[in-house]
Structure 1
Amino acid sequence: MKLPEGVALPGGGDSLLAFDVDEEHQNWGALSSLFQRWRASDVTRTEFTKKEIDSARWLEIGAWHHGYPQPAEDVFGYRQATYDLTDWCEKCGIGMKQKAPFQMKGEPKWGRNAIMQLVWIYGELFVTPDVWNRVFEPAHVECRPVLNTKGAELKTVVQLVVQTTASIITEGLPAEQCERCGRTKYLPITRGPFPALRDTPVGSMLRTAEYFGSGAQADQHVLMSQDLARSLAKSGVRGASLKPVVEPK
């Protein structure tokens, strides 16, 4: 098998190489055993049909991952520059509040994509100014600038500002309680749709009141309405990934 070069990680070391394997593959049992023996990360996801996505009133949105937040001193230097860490727990990652624009090394190399997330920042979305003007501004979603490491405003990217929060139904979700701060976060949801909203949301975009992640990673997931998702698709925007949200009973 000819392997691609993979993705170089900050700080050096082995590069990241990923494969997609369907669990219905005839060799999945043997492959799964090998992955465990090699201590390779096994990340499961569910792929949804167009009908499943089109029929959901709300959708969780993720996006193409591109680049790292800056500055990168000590790898996580962006935290002090971008966030108020007063309520942040270093052990579980809960409590960071954005205080300043994100920084990138330079203009994103968008290619054919127009929506993205930064690596390590899975609760924020970035789009081109054109996409914000055509899709998100009419839906009353605000934006804020993104800077380079010298403090100059970048011209081809803005950050979407999602201020509304809503709770989801968490019964039955695997969770962990932080030994240091006592707060609870839920493990990443890798199988099936996203849990149902507890209340009827207002607006076209929101973030969960609950945090998700493992170890020191904690993010609030971003959800969008079906109407906004259709506007995104109609505009031909590439780079988004959608997961249907369960309808409440």
Structure 2
Amino acid sequence: MQIIHRISISSTPEIRGELAALGVIVGASGLVTFEVDEAHEAWSALRQWIAKSGAADIVSTKFSERELAEASWFALEPGWHHGYPQPIEAHFGYRDATYAKASFCEQCGIGLEQKAPFQMKSEPRWGRNGILQLYWVFDEFFVTPEVWSTVFNPNGVGCRPVLDVDGTELKTVVQLVIQEQVGVVVMGLEVERCARCERVKYFPVTRGAFPPLASEPPTRMAKTREYFGSGASAHKGVLVSREVARALAAEKVRGALVRPVRER
């Protein structure tokens, strides 16, 4: 496992000098970005520099082939986002069109329950990808009908249609239907409690494996009961079994990543 930090900061002579002293050479002007592994010999000093300088720090994890091969469950994470849910994009119109909001809290984002098909502006521009997430919707995945039939349908995962804003069913995309929910072991996770509704969510997992499952799901794809996110954004984690992860790899499906779930 490698913990990798993607650091971004505006370059100045002072910044360049400080980084050069730590063994990092960056460009002469503008916004500069570099990556550093926590195994780097200067990581301890770089960590202090990041805190002092206020540089943007995005953390990711690269898992070994052995870690991936030994995992029984994985968190499914987006490799890209494509488009915004419709309608009335500028005012989050998809919430009223797609979700029941009886339990929804606008302050923390918890509580939306899907009641109708998602809407997109038009057929997705898939390119070489076969699975996607929409911006703002971090616990639903959309795939081509071919990916559903070869990967998800054989593993017992259903699908539902996606519509355009006129109500016409799109032909090149379906939404995966994830009905089962499972709890995760939340000990050690950073928690955020909503001041309005008092419900809790946990910060997204970017470092290391996903938390262990409290029990084994009876299906090969599930969501967490717990919410993750920060501020006004909240979503449930999406989990897939080893069989689904291997099918995605065998079919060379692009557009999503997997994070091993830690064993209890």
Match status 1:172 vs 2:188: yes
- Residue of structure 2 equivalent to 1:146: 162
Over aligned residues, Cα RMSD in angstroms? 2.1
Out of 179, 182, 199, the position equivalent to 2:215 is 199
Distance apart, 1:211 and its partner CA: 0.2
- Secondary structure of the corresponding residue to residue 185 of structure 1: strand
Cα 1:195/1:86, change in 2 over 3 Å:
same
Q: Which of these two proteins has the greater Rg computed from alpha carbons?
A: 2
Residue number among 14, 17, 21 corresponding to 2:35 in the alignment: 21
Structure-2-length-normalised TM-score: 0.81
- Name 1:111's counterpart in structure 2: 127
Tell me whether 1:32 sits opposite 2:47 in the alignment.
no
Counterpart AA for 1:46: T
Residue identity in the other structure for 2:241: S
Percent of pairs with identical residues: 52
Specify the SS of the correspondent of 1:43.
strand
Unaligned runs of 5+ in 2: 1-30
2:64 aligned partner = 49
For 2:166 and 2:181, the matched residues in 1 are separated by 32
Query: Larger relative contact order (C-alpha < 8 A, sep ≥ 6)?
Result: 1
1:72 and 1:47, CA in 2 relative to 1: closer, same or farther beyond 3 A?
farther
Residue 22 of structure 1 and its aligned partner are, at CA, apart by: 2.3
Q: Which residue of 2 aligns with 1:11?
A: none
Q: TM-score, normalised by structure 1?
A: 0.86
CA shift, 1:50, in A, is 2.1
How many residues align? The count is 229
Match in the other structure for 1:62: 77
226 and 117 in structure 1: CA distance in 2 versus 1, 3 angstrom threshold: same
Q: Quote the Cα distance in structure 2 between the aligned partners of 1:238 and 1:18.
A: 28
SS in 2 for 1:65: coil
Give 5+ residue unaligned stretches, structure 1: 1-16
Question: CA shift at 1:53, angstroms?
Answer: 1.3
Are residues 33 and 187 of structure 1, via their aligned partners in 2, closer, same or farther at CA, if it must alter by over 3 Å?
Answer: closer
Cα deviation, 1:203-239, whole Å, max 9, x if unaligned, reads 1000000000000100001000001111111112111
Q: 1:212 to 1:153 in 2, by over 3 A?
A: same
Match of 2:112 in 1: 96
Q: Which moved more, 1:45-54 or 1:67-76?
A: 67-76
Task: Using the TM superposition, give the Cα deviation of residue 179 of structure 1 relative to its aligned residue in structure 2, in angstroms.
Answer: 1.1
Provide the C-alpha distance between the structure 1 equivalents of 2:34 and 2:159, rounded to a whole number of angstroms: 34
Residue aligning to 1:184: 200
* 1:133 aligned counterpart, secondary structure: helix
Distance (Å, rounded) in 1 between the aligned partners of 2:263 and 2:101? 35
The separation in 2 between residues aligned to 1:148 and 1:156, in whole angstroms, is: 12
Measured after TM superposition, the shift of residue 121 of structure 1 is 0.7
